[in-house]
Amino acid sequence: MNKTIYKLFAAGIGAWVSLSACNKDILDKQPPMSYSDEVMWSDLRLVEAYVNSRYWILPHFIDASTKASTTGLSGASDEGYDHWNYEGEFHFNLGQITPDYTGLDNWTDDYAYIRSCNIFFERIAGVKGDEDLRNRLTGEMKFIRAWCYFDLLCRYGGVPLITKSYTIADSSFLVKRDTYEAGMNFIIKELDEALPLVPYVYSSSNTGRITKGAILAFKSRALLYAASALNNAAGDKARWQLAADAAEAVTDLAAQGYYQLDQRTDYKQLFLDKKTPEAILSFGMNATYGDNYIDVYIYPNGSHGYSAYVPSQNIVDEFEMKNGKPVTDPASGYDATHPYDNRDPRFYADILFNGAPFKGRTVEYFTGGMDSPQSNVDNWNASLTGYNWRKYADETNTNIDGGSAQNWIIFRLAEIYLNYAEAAWELGDEVNARKYLNLVRSRASVNMPDVTATGTALRDRIYHERMIELCFEGHRFFDVRRWKIAAITDNKPLKRVSIDKKADGTFTYTYPTLQNRKFNLNNYLFPIPKEEMNKNNLLVQNPGY
């Protein structure tokens, strides 16, 4: 029973420590990527590599090795579409989720990582070595285990809380579901215990590891979700106070200089620069390792991309005019014959549209254009909505088939400011709600007019700001569920643009439906996969499945 072999990954996030840092004698005696139980838990540097590999469960781009993809969440929400249904998003789009066919299911992966965390906690006390390193690794694993449970709670509601690694010697390993509240309490306890074990910052060689700021940012998101309508039917203000306090703890770090909104004039650089001061925690990518091919998935076909994950016309219509008015406002200045003129600067940084510059050329989504389904360049990969992601697209990548190297930002300061704005509004503090909302809008690269709304109109502007500021980052899918508005947003047809080029070089635009979408009320939670129900007769399925 002590001969279990563990795979150790030496790359994947910028923080990961090379195996060359491990004891050289051990490396001389063992195959380079595998170690027995006895060896693994006798050397703290090998344990560190074990911890490093557990970072893969944290959110990042589409990745065949796990289901932690945030790109799939975009395709399953009203902000986007997955051309190839890579992650089963159509089950969500069409209201066809069942215990047999879920899509975006993370139950098995999350519990596999939870088990590896539990093994760590059972073994770490017996590993000799530097106490500070052992404490730091313990803090990281508490964060990772908490993340797995948070991910499960977001998808399924209350789940079994398992803190031991079961083996064949155990007579019973079936566990009932705990409540959502018990799960959230466990997550917050894990984070509170992890906080003193990790530093505020790391040296450049360890950039990307979990810090105090990452823990506090995670706590902010978790408590915001716990306070929201889906999980707080009674509207308990004490929960909103906890959410506000958690967000304030991160803003305090920003006030001390640990983080700041990226104030460069080019907004899209925020998502390409590994050292942006706005990032609190990022998943570091390495183009030479694994399945990190975000550019090939989001590039237009005219640049030999797959156009897999693309924006919808629905999200395009949500970007305000530069004067801060919605395109539906007659006073906004919106011109239907030039629909992409004078929009929120984030539109140009986030969306590739007809006529946009990209990689030294002009993107052509009009019928017969290079990036259209009638193109003579990889037309099977043309965007079906008439748009592509610009956010996260690295135009300097000259070999997209060889991989991508952008970091995926898991937590950033703008999210925390919007968390604070939302919690403040719920507590009746409109002054701070507007303050933190407008801090995001007034950054140098955005410079949108301040929001002056009050009452429910202010709440709606906060919701809208999250839709724009955090688009394609994996937030929208869960936001509309926790707000309990998915029955509205996800029951609308998903629109595309159809563009015809006239002889004089001008264009006409129409907006057909690409996909008729359906959201059932039971879809606020995922069904527990049938195979998991079959394994554990103590599990109770979510209502409506």
Q: CA of 200: how far to CAs of 55, 140, 240, 241, 255, in Å?
A: 18, 13, 26, 25, 14
Task: Note the pLDDT of residue 291.
Answer: 59
CA pair distance 152, 148, nearest whole angstrom: 6
- DSSP-H helix ranges across 207-285: 212-227, 237-255
Task: Note the pLDDT of residue 286.
Answer: 56
Task: Note the pLDDT of residue 205.
Answer: 78
Indicate the pLDDT class of residue 309, thresholds 50, 70 and 90: very high
Task: Note the pLDDT of residue 249.
Answer: 98
Indicate the pLDDT class of residue 64, thresholds 50, 70 and 90: low
pLDDT digits over 124-181, tens only? 999 999 999 999 999 999 999 999 999 999 999 999 999 999 876 676 789 999 999 9
Q: Which of 423, 479, 418, 417 is nearest to 240 (CA)?
A: 423
Contact present, 483 and 59 (Cβ < 8 Å): no
CA count, 13 A, side-chain hemisphere, 340:
20
What does the pLDDT average to over 475-495?
A: 98
Task: Note the pLDDT of residue 9.
Answer: 34
Task: Note the pLDDT of residue 66.
Answer: 57
CA pair distance 127, 121, nearest whole angstrom: 11
Q: CB atoms < 10 A from the CB of 158, how many?
A: 19
∠ CA(316), CA(284), CA(224), 5° rounding? 60
Q: How far apart are the first and last CA of the chain?
A: 39
What does the pLDDT average to over 443-451?
A: 98
Task: Note the pLDDT of residue 26.
Answer: 32
Query: Is the pLDDT confidence value at 7 over 80?
Result: no
Query: Is the pLDDT confidence value at 444 over 50?
Result: yes
Task: Note the pLDDT of residue 14.
Answer: 35
pLDDT digits over 201-240, tens only? 998 778 789 999 999 999 999 999 999 999 999 999 999 9
Task: Note the pLDDT of residue 63.
Answer: 65
> Hey, is 327 helix, strand or coil?
coil
Indicate the pLDDT class of residue 68, thresholds 50, 70 and 90: low
Task: Note the pLDDT of residue 38.
Answer: 84
What does the pLDDT average to over 391-396?
A: 97
| Per-residue H/E/C for 514-541 | EECCCCCHHHHCCCCCHHHHHHCCCCCC
Indicate the pLDDT class of residue 260, thresholds 50, 70 and 90: very high
Least confident of 37-46, 112-121, 519-528: 37-46
Task: Note the pLDDT of residue 8.
Answer: 33
User: CA 90: distance to chain centroid?
Assistant: 19
Least confident of 280-284, 317-321, 416-420: 280-284
∠ CA(304), CA(309), CA(312), 5° rounding? 115
- DSSP-H helix ranges across 256-387: 294-298, 313-318, 345-350
Indicate the pLDDT class of residue 524, thresholds 50, 70 and 90: very high
- DSSP-H helix ranges across 228-301: 237-255, 294-298
Query: Is the pLDDT confidence value at 527 over 60?
Result: yes
φ and ψ of 370, to 5 deg: -60, -30
Least confident of 375-379, 398-402, 476-480, 485-489: 398-402
- DSSP-H helix ranges across 404-536: 413-426, 430-441, 455-469, 476-482, 486-489, 530-535
Tell me the pLDDT of the chain averaged across its residues: 91
pLDDT digits over 88-134, tens only? 999 999 999 999 988 899 999 999 999 999 999 999 999 999 999 99
Query: Is the pLDDT confidence value at 439 over 90?
Result: yes
CA pair distance 525, 481, nearest whole angstrom: 8
Q: Which pTM does this prediction carry?
A: 0.93
Task: Note the pLDDT of residue 12.
Answer: 32
Q: Give me 126's structure tokens.
A: 């017996």
Query: Is the pLDDT confidence value at 498 over 70?
Result: yes
Query: Is the pLDDT confidence value at 246 over 60?
Result: yes
| DSSP H or E run through 513 | strand 513-515
pLDDT digits over 330-376, tens only? 999 999 999 999 999 999 999 999 999 999 999 999 999 999 999 99
